[in-house]
A and B are shown apart, each in its own frame.
Chain A
Amino acid sequence: MKQWMSLAGFTLALALVAGAFAQGDRIRSIELLSRPQAAAPQEFQSAQLIAQAWRELGLDVTVNAMPWEQLADVVWYERDVWDVTAWQMVGRPERGDPDEIVFNLFHSSTAESGYNFIGYNNPAYDAVAEAQRVETDPDARQAIVAEAQQIINADQPYMFLVHPQVAYAFRSDIWSPDSIVEQNGIGIKNFWSFIGAQPASDQRDMILNSADVVQAINPFYISGAVDSWITELIWDRLLRVGPDGLPQPWAAESYTWVDDTTIDVTLRSGMTWHDGEPVTVEDVVFSFEAPMGGEVPMYAPFVSGIESVEALDDSTVRFSLKQPSAAFLVTSLAKVNLVPEHIWGPILADLVDDPDNAESYQEDMPIGSGPLSFVRWRASEEVVLETNADHFSAPSYDRWILRIVPNSEAALGMLRRGELNFLSAYAGDPQILVDTSQTEPINVVASTDIGFRFIGFNNRRAPFDDAAFRRALSLAVNRNLIAQAAYRGFAVPSNSPVSPALPFWHEESVMNFETGIDLAKSILEEAGYTTDGSGRLLYPDGVSETLD
């Protein structure tokens, strides 16, 4: 009997040992990248919360915060070396059309050097992303975009966190509240507020703030987010995305579709450049042809669908497209800045023999035709623009001044003292802003952003190449907690790249997802992941760690 027992014990031990050998390797220590607290407090705090949740699954997680430039360097240029990163897509008016998000972010063609930096590769998804591009019937396209969102939900290439509600504020004793425009998915900090604001006092300067410095004031360069506020004001575009998210005529008086691939645009008459020269159809043709050459790479995608541009007479320009395009008005006509040929023609010609391109050229005195014109730029202090009284939509104040204020606390203090009268960048707690507005003449407007915050899994690297693993990690994190704790309630939980701020395109069904550590653990278990004696998570049987 005793012998039999010990035999059984021996067999059991043997089985255990064998079992131990069949087990997968321990998953290496995972590094979660984030921007530092100073630059992105909510992102940093989200990362801390996520790391704590993942640790409960048996992962060893460290949060590594680095400045944006260094983070971008690793994530963009060394696409094989990182594990997971906090990241964001910011809301831009052109992102009102889902194409940029649905195609660029997840299509495998952009994985090598484009926006699909996480290396997501799913042929079924590619097909859907391509299909929505050429579908011109809105309802049919809506269905395809919905399908895209469902595939993303199943695969979880990103772990979507929230669509933040971005809070901006202005002093209501200085700006008449009716004249400040809230643009859907963008907030009150937008072109339409900038040109439409009506002074309510004798303060005739709009004084705004930015935490980031201005990198460039250049119609051919999409640099920092702040820079684009300025380029939008100095340079006109044929169309503008209106407060409702739809394109409307701007420098174009009107446009007509001649057929599926041909559109005629009539230029508004009597426009002049800030140097007094008239704006001509030749300038328009030049503005669209310039990005087709090699010197303006960042704008090249926006004109890539154009077969030819030609001036029909001195007020009409005809665009012929390579194929029908659903998004052409938004992604091209409302995107490309009109630039004076007499200034940029010679500059671009000179650049042909230079390794640099138009992006690194900085005019001393930028010249556009927009509602505000350039006055001065002191890199660490401010950018000053003044009203272009000759413009067809000139603002009714005198100057637009962007102050560089590196932190939220100082910006808030300045707003309270009236040193700023339009808070156009605020990374702090929106609730503090709201509380302040109870006692001071300050209006706060929080709007749900088109953009979203997410955690990018590096789909190229184990264990993140496994959709089940990604799903488990994603479901381990309570999105309401992220929205409440890190974003102070000023955010909507997210599970889709298309924001609820775009109700037509947003697919509501993917939003019904449950989270919980136990749920995550059961998904991992089902997919074959186990834990060792110390609670550390192991790969499924036979899988070994290749990246230690």
Chain B
Amino acid sequence: MRTARRIASRFAQMVFVLWAVATILFLVFRLMPGNPLVAYIDPTFTEEQQQELLQRFGLDRPLHEQYVIYLGNLLRGDLGDSFFYRDSVTSLLWDVFPNTLALTMVALIIAYVIGVLLGALLAWLRTSRFEGIAIPLVLLSRAAPEFWLGMILLAIFSFQLGWFPAGGAFTAGSEAAVGPGRFFSLDFLRHLFLPALTLAIYLHGLPLLLMRSNMLETLKEDFVTMARMKGLSTWSVLVRHAARNALLPVLTAFALGIGYSIGGNVVVETVFSWPGIGRLLVRAVSASDYPLAQGAFLMIAAVMVFMNFVADLLYNVLDPRVSQDA
């Protein structure tokens, strides 16, 4: 009962944040200088035609009316039409969103599997000299600009060695690119490898350090000491107790990571010519395609807010320790 109430309150909070972000975005795009229809109008349009267009996009109305229309459209999932592509923003976004999601998820899964294992190992080897090399290395991987890392990987593994494709998500004209099975085709995975690796190198540091410090902490807790005294082997103590308890924060970080990465992928998508939502956003912003930029931003924000909500649930609601003392 209590849990249900907590979930409901978190959910309400999520809706509130979404509304606030949408409102901020509306204000940013409407209050900015410049003709909002720039990308739509071409030199042959007369003044009259421009007025007609302003009218059609509702841009001639007072701001508050525009705002109400905007919110109404959002609720119906209507993000308007892209000025540049002259196509519905929703369909353009859905075209590329799965690519971004696939890249993000694969990269995160690789990063977290490796990160968790290495983190546990490091905690285990706490006193060894190994750590003195491993920790700086991990920090290095998190300090390198992703695009720079991507450029170097691309230069070596694609341009020089020719092992992987130089960009894109599919081979040209691939029939695998159409239809629901596309994300499981070998072709897709081959194209996914380098960008996912780049991201994973950047992302694995967090779960690694998190896992390590959580495990170290858990290893000092009384119940672990108890378990040890009961004569359980160190290995089973490690796996059964320490690792299990240390995993929850890592899982939370994973959920948050999805949200953060989807927005942060922009540069990697650019280096690898990955047809994703980040590249679409960059393209839309430089083309002054406001509806598309707004839509892409909102979509990224929505994923992020939703994943924040999920992480919140994982951490605050499902974790028995936290809910008990609330």
A382 CA to B41 CA, complexed, in Å: 25
Is A413 a contact of B166 with CB atoms below 8 Å?
A: yes
Q: Which of A77, A207, A414 contacts B173 (CB 8 A)?
A: A207
Most-contacted residue by chain A among B96, B167, B169 (CB, 10 A):
B167
Is A360 a contact of B286 with CB atoms below 8 Å?
A: no
| A69-B158 in contact given A379-B85, A381-B170 (Cβ < 8 Å) | no
A419 CA to B273 CA, complexed, in Å: 13
Is B172 a contact of A401 with CB atoms below 8 Å?
A: yes
Q: Which of B42, B158, B168, B169 contacts A298 (CB 8 A)?
A: B42
A74 to chain B, nearest CB (A): 9
| A414-B270 in contact given A207-B173, A380-B95, A419-B171 (Cβ < 8 Å) | no
Cβ of B185 under 8 Å from chain A: no
Kindly count the residue-residue contacts between A and B in the assembled complex, taking CB atoms under 8 Å apart.
114
B39 to chain A, nearest CB (A): 6
A35 CA to B287 CA, complexed, in Å: 12
Is B169 a contact of A355 with CB atoms below 8 Å?
A: no
Q: Please, which residues of chain A bring their CB within 8 A of the CB of B276?
A: 380
Is B275 a contact of A406 with CB atoms below 8 Å?
A: no
Cβ of B34 under 8 Å from chain A: yes
B94 to chain A, nearest CB (A): 11
Is B275 a contact of A419 with CB atoms below 8 Å?
A: no
Q: Which of A298, A362, A378, A414 contacts B275 (CB 8 A)?
A: A378
Which of the segments B47-55, B228-236, B243-251, B302-310 contacts the partner chain? B47-55
Is A69 a contact of B270 with CB atoms below 8 Å?
A: no
Q: Per-position contact with A for B15-49: 1 when CB-CB < 8 Å, else 0?
A: 00000000000000000001100110111110001
Cβ of B159 under 8 Å from chain A: yes
Is B270 a contact of A406 with CB atoms below 8 Å?
A: yes
Q: Which of A77, A381, A384, A417 contacts B158 (CB 8 A)?
A: A417
Q: Please, which residues of chain A bring their CB within 8 A of the CB of B34?
A: 73
A416 CA to B41 CA, complexed, in Å: 39
| A419-B173 in contact given A67-B286, A376-B178 (Cβ < 8 Å) | no
Is A297 a contact of B166 with CB atoms below 8 Å?
A: no
A438 to chain B, nearest CB (A): 16
Is A380 a contact of B279 with CB atoms below 8 Å?
A: yes
A420 CA to B168 CA, complexed, in Å: 12
Is A405 a contact of B95 with CB atoms below 8 Å?
A: no
Cβ of A215 under 8 Å from chain B: yes
A495 CA to B177 CA, complexed, in Å: 49
Is B159 a contact of A416 with CB atoms below 8 Å?
A: yes
Q: Please, which residues of chain A bring their CB within 8 A of the CB of B168?
A: 381, 403, 405, 419
A47 CA to B272 CA, complexed, in Å: 29
Cβ of B283 under 8 Å from chain A: yes
Q: Please, which residues of chain A bring their CB within 8 A of the CB of B279?
A: 380, 406
Q: Please, which residues of chain A bring their CB within 8 A of the CB of B167?
A: 405, 410, 413-414, 419
Cβ of B72 under 8 Å from chain A: no
Cβ of B86 under 8 Å from chain A: yes
- CB nearest neighbor in A for B51: A355
A164 CA to B45 CA, complexed, in Å: 32
Q: Per-position contact with A for B74-87: 1 when CB-CB < 8 Å, else 0?
A: 00000000001111
A381 CA to B272 CA, complexed, in Å: 12
Is B43 a contact of A76 with CB atoms below 8 Å?
A: yes
- CB nearest neighbor in A for B274: A380
- CB nearest neighbor in A for B277: A380
- 8 Å CB interface, A385-428 against B: 399, 401, 403-407, 410, 413-414, 416-417, 419-420
Is B166 a contact of A417 with CB atoms below 8 Å?
A: yes
Cβ of A279 under 8 Å from chain B: no
- CB nearest neighbor in B for A223: B42
- CB nearest neighbor in A for B286: A67
Is B87 a contact of A355 with CB atoms below 8 Å?
A: no
- CB nearest neighbor in B for A208: B172
Is A401 a contact of B49 with CB atoms below 8 Å?
A: no
A356 CA to B154 CA, complexed, in Å: 44
Is A362 a contact of B86 with CB atoms below 8 Å?
A: yes
- CB nearest neighbor in A for B82: A379
Cβ of A429 under 8 Å from chain B: no
Give the contact-size bracket for chain A: 35 or more
Q: Please, which residues of chain B bring their CB within 8 A of the CB of A216?
A: 85-86
Is A67 a contact of B287 with CB atoms below 8 Å?
A: yes
Cβ of B162 under 8 Å from chain A: yes
B34 to chain A, nearest CB (A): 7
Most-contacted residue by chain B among A215, A410, A420 (CB, 10 A):
A410
Is A399 a contact of B177 with CB atoms below 8 Å?
A: no
Is B95 a contact of A417 with CB atoms below 8 Å?
A: no
Cβ of A113 under 8 Å from chain B: yes
A70 CA to B43 CA, complexed, in Å: 14
Is A355 a contact of B96 with CB atoms below 8 Å?
A: no
A14 CA to B288 CA, complexed, in Å: 56
Q: Please, which residues of chain A bring their CB within 8 A of the CB of B288?
A: 67, 69-70, 73
Is B172 a contact of A355 with CB atoms below 8 Å?
A: no
- CB nearest neighbor in A for B276: A380
A113 CA to B45 CA, complexed, in Å: 10
Most-contacted residue by chain A among B166, B169, B270, B279 (CB, 10 A):
B166
Is A69 a contact of B95 with CB atoms below 8 Å?
A: no
Cβ of A213 under 8 Å from chain B: yes
Q: Please, which residues of chain A bring their CB within 8 A of the CB of B45?
A: 297
Is B55 a contact of A355 with CB atoms below 8 Å?
A: yes
Q: Which of B38, B43, B84, B96 contacts A113 (CB 8 A)?
A: B43
Is B169 a contact of A381 with CB atoms below 8 Å?
A: yes
Q: Please, which residues of chain B bring their CB within 8 A of the CB of A414?
A: 165-167
B263 to chain A, nearest CB (A): 18
Is B35 a contact of A77 with CB atoms below 8 Å?
A: yes
Cβ of B92 under 8 Å from chain A: yes
- CB nearest neighbor in A for B151: A409
A414 CA to B170 CA, complexed, in Å: 12
Q: Please, which residues of chain B bring their CB within 8 A of the CB of A360?
A: 86
B125 to chain A, nearest CB (A): 40
- CB nearest neighbor in B for A403: B172
- 8 Å CB interface, B265-294 against A: 270, 272-273, 275-276, 279-280, 283, 286-288
- CB nearest neighbor in B for A361: B86
| A215-B84 in contact given A73-B38, A381-B169, A410-B166 (Cβ < 8 Å) | yes
Q: Please, which residues of chain A bring their CB within 8 A of the CB of B87?
A: 362, 379
Q: Please, which residues of chain A bring their CB within 8 A of the CB of B129?
A: none
Q: Which of A76, A359, A419 contacts B165 (CB 8 A)?
A: A419
Q: Please, which residues of chain A bring their CB within 8 A of the CB of B286?
A: 67, 69-70
A77 CA to B43 CA, complexed, in Å: 8
Q: Which of A77, A359, A379, A405 contacts B273 (CB 8 A)?
A: A405
B86 to chain A, nearest CB (A): 5
- CB nearest neighbor in B for A207: B172
Cβ of B2 under 8 Å from chain A: no
- CB nearest neighbor in A for B55: A355
Q: Please, which residues of chain B bring their CB within 8 A of the CB of A419?
A: 165-168, 171-172
Q: Which of B38, B42, B49, B166 contacts A355 (CB 8 A)?
A: B49
B280 to chain A, nearest CB (A): 6
| A380-B55 in contact given A69-B39, A207-B173, A403-B168 (Cβ < 8 Å) | no
Is A205 a contact of B275 with CB atoms below 8 Å?
A: no
A386 to chain B, nearest CB (A): 9
Query: Given A379-B85, A380-B279, A403-B172, 9 other A-B contacts at CB below 8 A?
Result: A67-B287, A69-B39, A77-B41, A213-B84, A355-B53, A384-B173, A416-B166, A417-B162, A419-B166
List the interface of chain A (C-beta within 8 A of B).
Answer: 67, 69-70, 73, 76-77, 113-114, 205, 207, 213, 215-216, 297-298, 300, 355-357, 359-360, 362, 376, 378-382, 384, 399, 401, 403-407, 410, 413-414, 416-417, 419-420
3 closest cross-chain pairs (CB), A and B: A355-B52, A413-B166, A380-B275
Give 13 pairs: A residue, B residue, CB < 8 Å, sorted on A.
A73-B34, A76-B43, A114-B43, A215-B86, A297-B44, A300-B44, A355-B56, A379-B92, A380-B276, A403-B172, A410-B272, A413-B159, A419-B172
